[in-house]
Amino acid sequence: MKKRILVVEDEEKLRRVLQLQLTSAGYDVDLAGTAEEGIRIVDRADLVLTDLKLPRMDGLQFLSKVRLQNAHVPVIMMTAFGSVETAVEAMKAGATDFLLKPFGFDHLQQVVAKALEVRALRDENRQLKAELGRRYEFDNIIGRSPNMQEIFATIERVAPTRATVLLAGESGVGKDLIARAIHFHSPRRDRPLVKINCTAIPENLMESELFGYEKGAFTGANTSKPGKFEQADTGTVFLDEIGDVPAAIQVKLLRILQEREFERLGSNTTRHIDVRVVAATNRDLREALEQGAFREDLYYRLNVVPLNIPPLRERKQDIPFLANHFIHKLAPDSGSRVESITEAGMEKLVAYHWPGNVRELENVIERGLVMCTETALDAADIRLESAPRPRGNSDSHFLPDGMTLDQYEQDILKEALRRADGNKSQAARLLGLTRNALRYRLTQMGMEA
């Protein structure tokens, strides 16, 4: 695969020469005349070749910004004879190498090739280490199943970059947890992590919440206010329930992802920001694409690194480890003596289909701890929230014994709301209803709060 080199140099002539030389040496080349331009496209670079003296930003500042976007990329500084000391400083600050101007083509090629080689070795080393120290836990995320192992490896690989990550999976599979892990393993860990729950914000307030507003932008806007994206500048934005974003906001998100720019509501001033985006969805976005509810261009921008987190019923080998993890996490605070689970208890947990995934398992254990007076949780202490899934008996295609249709419908509505964490739009989708149709049924059943 061809390596891509980003050349940042304000002097046009030198820029062209470098482009010619590097292209002829078999590299793909991106050019930038300013540090700002360079930062914008540094995510895809395999190596950065930059002038130490750039307009408006010195080489050291530039270096630290590059590291935020692309933690491991080699950076070679080009410097004029007089500024060797700064070059030394740059090396201390993490530059890979430097070139004294003027330099010949051969020397350039050598330095570049060496930096890329060292990078490749380091990458390999990191990978080997990751394989050796097979992780069954990633921070506090538990996972023994091959699926989860793969997810941990991906987190490790993408966290250091600015790449956009799209987490897909049912409610309760651990999307929030994984989004946090990505942020805290990135070079942005000391910067803000701002979570935006796209279903929790009413549509008419969404733009001002996300992008901020200027004084007088609407009635009641007595002061100016930055939005969530501005709060997250230099950090990470976690866009939860991205599938529910209205079309008008989708356009603006696309612009943030593409151009890293936006305007506050009521303002003509374009603002630039540097955020890493992690998005999550529990609906199939491709389906939303087909129905035209989600923009295709936004989908592809978000889906740079897709992470699909399987439901718990598809990785049952994780259940015992998760159960023990929750006992140790929750027992001390609940004043419980429980330290383990009996074999019968564990069998019951493993047999269940966990419609609410890990969140439900955590709740079941928490309640079990309260019930149990012994030191081991037994099957009787484990109260499952819904009946085990009926097994393909054709008789079961009728109402359960002694139940009326209304009661049955109520149960189904409750279950849908529970699976959707109380979110009505989502519950409606699970049932194949519109939100209004669901509302209507809930009211009819006297269930609408």
Ligand X SMILES: Nc1ncnc2c1ncn2[C@@H]1O[C@H](COP(=O)(O)OP(=O)(O)O)[C@@H](O)[C@H]1O
Binder to ligand X among 43, 176, 230, 378 (CB under 6 A)? 176
Per the CB < 8 A criterion, the answer to whether 307 and 166 are in contact is yes
Binder to ligand X among 74, 143, 187, 355 (CB under 6 A)? 143
Return the range that interacts with ligand X (CB under 6 A); candidates 139-147, 182-190, 204-212, 295-303: 139-147
| DSSP one-letter code for 234 | T
Pick the closer one to Mg ion by CB: 176 or 378: 176
Distance of CA 237 to the CA centre of its chain: 8
Phi and psi based region of residue 432 (left: phi greater than 0; alpha: psi -120 to 50; beta: remaining): left
Pick the closer one to ligand X by CB: 90 or 173: 173
Q: How many residues bind ligand X (CB under 6 A)?
A: 17
Binder to ligand X among 359, 367, 418, 439 (CB under 6 A)? 359
| DSSP one-letter code for 215 | T
Among positions 72-101, residues that touch ligand X (CB under 6 A) are none
Q: Is 172 in the site for ligand X (CB under 6 A)?
A: yes
Binder to ligand X among 175, 191, 228, 252 (CB under 6 A)? 175
Run of H or E including 275: none
Q: Is 168 in the site for ligand X (CB under 6 A)?
A: no
φ/ψ (deg, to 5) at 81: -50, -40
Binder to ligand X among 173, 194, 232, 428 (CB under 6 A)? 173
Per the CB < 8 A criterion, the answer to whether 196 and 236 are in contact is no
Return the range that interacts with ligand X (CB under 6 A); candidates 134-142, 192-200, 288-296, 392-400: 134-142
**CA dihedral sign, ordered 30, 160, 125, 310:** negative
Radius of gyration in angstroms for the set of CA atoms belonging to the chain, rounded to a whole number: 27
For residue 358, the minimal CB distance to Mg ion (Å) is 11
Pick the closer one to ligand X by CB: 111 or 309: 309
Return the range that interacts with Mg ion (CB under 5 A); candidates 103-111, 160-168, 176-184, 397-405: 176-184
> Which residue in 194, 185, 305, 288 sits closest to 245, CA to CA?
288
Return the range that interacts with Mg ion (CB under 5 A); candidates 17-25, 168-176, 262-270, 366-374: 168-176
d(CA 317, CA 323): 11
All residues at 6 or more sequence positions from 153 whose CB lies less than 8 Å from its CB, including other chains: 130
Token digits of residue 120: 């490749």
* Residue 362: contacted member of ligand X, Mg ion, none (CB under 5 to 8 Å, by partner type): ligand X
Q: Is 176 in the site for Mg ion (CB under 5 A)?
A: yes
Per the CB < 8 A criterion, the answer to whether 187 and 68 are in contact is yes
Per the CB < 8 A criterion, the answer to whether 262 and 255 are in contact is yes
Pick the closer one to ligand X by CB: 143 or 227: 143
| DSSP one-letter code for 73 | -
For residue 172, the minimal CB distance to ligand X (Å) is 5
Pick the closer one to Mg ion by CB: 161 or 423: 423
Binder to ligand X among 358, 417, 420, 428 (CB under 6 A)? 358
Return the range that interacts with Mg ion (CB under 5 A); candidates 116-124, 167-175, 246-254, 408-416: 167-175
* Residue 143: contacted member of Mg ion, ligand X, none (CB under 5 to 8 Å, by partner type): ligand X
Q: Is 274 helix (H, G, I), strand (E, B) or coil?
A: coil
Binder to ligand X among 174, 187, 212, 355 (CB under 6 A)? 174
All residues at 6 or more sequence positions from 127 whose CB lies less than 8 Å from its CB, including other chains: none
Q: Is 353 helix (H, G, I), strand (E, B) or coil?
A: coil
d(CA 123, CA 295): 35
Q: Is 421 in the site for Mg ion (CB under 5 A)?
A: no
- Site of interaction with ligand X (CB under 6 A): 140-143, 169, 171-177, 322, 325, 358-359, 362
- Site of interaction with Mg ion (CB under 5 A): 175-176
